[in-house]
Amino acid sequence: MKFTPLDIQQQQFKIRFRGFDVREVDAFLEQIADDFESLLSNNVSLQDEISRLKLENQGYRQREETFKRAMLNSQKVLEQMKKNAEKSAELIVADAEVKAEKLLNRAHNRLSQLHEDIAELKRQRIQIEIQVRSILENHTKLLDLGQEETEVRDEEDAKLKVLKQSK
């Protein structure tokens, strides 16, 4: 059975011969009732504080769980972002390699074309040199023939002069 301060204050004792001093017992019961009331009040206050702290603690635990979930989600998001960045980087590198390969192929094709053009130009140069030599040889022959004719005419003219002088 639980006692209340009122129970303690209203407690009555039977009076017997040579019993306790009634005023002293009443004062003592009054003092105990006051102390008990103070203890009960303090107990209620502490119970309220415990309840409040339990609720606060429960709130903190819920927040902690929320933070844990948020951190896990953040880590997952970060890992996903990292994977996406790596995939993106791989795609960029692959694209760059493809572009580089195409550029290299174009450069090789252009180089091949330039080599062919150079070979063609060399062939044309040789052809032109042959043609120029041929023209030069023909002109040289013509000049030689012209000079021979000139010499023949000069000899004929000299003979004619000699003949004309002898006459």
Transcribe 71-118 into DSSP letters. HHHHHHHHHHHHHHHHHHHHHHHHHHHHHHHHHHHHHHHHHHHHHHHH
- Global pTM value: 0.44
Write out pLDDT tens, residues 63-108: 999 999 999 999 999 999 999 999 999 999 999 999 999 999 999 9
Lowest mean pLDDT among 26-35, 47-56, 88-97: 26-35
Cα 87 from chain centre: 10
